[in-house]
Chain A
Amino acid sequence: DTGVSQNPRHKITKRGQNVTFRCDPISEHNRLYWYRQTLGQGPEFLTYFQNEAQLEKSRLLSDRFSAERPKGSFSTLEIQRTEQGDSAMYLCASGVASGANVLTFGAGSRLTVL
């Protein structure tokens, strides 16, 4: 297992376009998290899944954001009608529901909205 994989690593798009990020977690991890991080700030929680169920969504996740984890494996985060304020690093992390719930993060997907 090579850890948590995120694609694409970098995305530059024009305002108003839709973008989709993919996260492939560690295979035996049943929890998957999405975070957003802007320059100089710590990661901000967006949403998380246990298996295929989306259990919590942050108020930061506006109607333009949607996340799925259809088979409890990989997940996608889609942003519709992107705005310049969406420019950030989008981080995915996975973990197991039991125990200390230590998270393993991917390298992130950096979005730049022009």
Chain B
Amino acid sequence: DAKTTQPPSMDCAEGRAANLPCNHSTISGNEYVYWYRQIHSQGPQYIIHGLKNNETNEMASLIITEDRKSSTLILPHATLRDTAVYYCIVRDYNAGNNRKLIWGLGTSLAVNP
């Protein structure tokens, strides 16, 4: 079973920041938080990952709470092309051979003009 909880859907106005929450209250010390997104009829696309510290790349920012029980993915200036299902996943970085990702239902983000 997925170890994360996300709202099923969210809306965002084009040009505004999209803040997507994720709850992972049972996360363990070795588990990282990964975010992927899936645009309709395409394969998932990696966005960002982190352990404790906040992370930023060209696509998004990841804010992880101090207790690591939740995180927020931030798309700073959402565009229509950001409309997708966003998946938050936790995975043990040092799981040996067991490195598969376990996916939940994600958040369907609709960016509106």
Contact = CB atoms under 8 A, between A and B. Distances in A.
Nearest to A106: B43
Classify the interface of chain B: helix, strand, loop or mixed.
loop
Contacts of B103: 42-44
B49 A100 contact: yes
A61 interface: no
Interface in A1-47: 4, 31, 33, 40-45
B44 A105 contact: yes
Nearest to B42: A107
Interface residues of A, number: 24
A40 B9 CA distance: 12
Of the candidates B42, B98, B100, the one having the most CB atoms from chain A within 10 angstroms of its own CB is: B100
Given A42-B87, A42-B106, A105 B43 contact: yes
A102 B42 contact: no
Contact of A48 (B32, B42, B44, B100): B100
Interface of A: 4, 31, 33, 40-45, 48, 50, 55-56, 91, 93, 100-108
Report, nearest first, the 6 A-B pairs whose CB atoms are least far apart.
A42-B103, A105-B43, A45-B100, A105-B44, A102-B46, A43-B103
Interface of B: 2, 32, 34, 36, 41-46, 49, 87, 93, 97-106
